[in-house]
Amino acid sequence: MYNKAFLLPGPMTPNSVLIFDSNLCRGCNTCVDSCPGTVLVPNPEKGQPPIVMYPEACWMCGCCVGDCPVPGASRLLHPLNLRMGWKRKATGETYRIGMKNPPPPNTRPPVG
């Protein structure tokens, strides 16, 4: 009659959606409260980062990272197909946000 219920992580996905820096995260669980989905659950150990229980339910909205009181404690990793990219017309080079050695910023004013 009194059976125990357990939360189990979802199946492994190719990409992680959220990475916590264990040196900066205080385990305040603000990100758990601000997440509109059911992605994060509080860690049972005090002071430890939350557990990403269901990464496939993540909306990639960034509320968890934006509401974090410690800058840099968490980082959202967008899947490759959702990352912004652009192509330079003159050379045909392609770029993505977050790539190593990005091109220098465009300093020309917009036309018009």
pLDDT band, very low/low/confident/very high, at 66 (cuts 50, 70, 90):
very high
Q: Is the pLDDT of residue 18 over 60?
A: yes
**Domain assignment of residue 32, yes or no:** yes
Domains: count for the chain: 1
Contact at 8 Å (CB) between 97 and 108? no
Range of the domain at 35: 18-82
- Decide if 89 is inside a domain: no
Residue 93 lies in a domain: no
pLDDT at 11: 57
Q: What's at 80, amino acid-wise?
A: L
- Rounded (5°) CA angle 48-53-56: 140
Q: How far apart are CA 58 and CA 17, in angstroms?
A: 7
Residue 49's domain is classified under what CATH number? 3.30.70.20
Mapping DSSP onto H, E and C, the string for the chain reads CCCCCCCCCCCCCCCCCEEECCCCCCCCCHHHHHCCCCCEECCCCCCCCCEECCHHHCCCCCHHHHCCCCCCCEEECCCHHHCCEEECCCCCCEEECCCCCCCCCCCCCCCC
Does residue 6 fall inside a structural domain?
A: no
Q: What is the mean pLDDT of residues 69-92?
A: 82
**Mean pLDDT score of the chain, rounded to an integer?**
83
Radius of gyration of the chain (CA): 19
* Residue 73 located in a structural domain: yes
> Is the entire prediction scored with pTM above 0.75?
no
Q: pLDDT over 90 for what percent of the chain?
A: 34
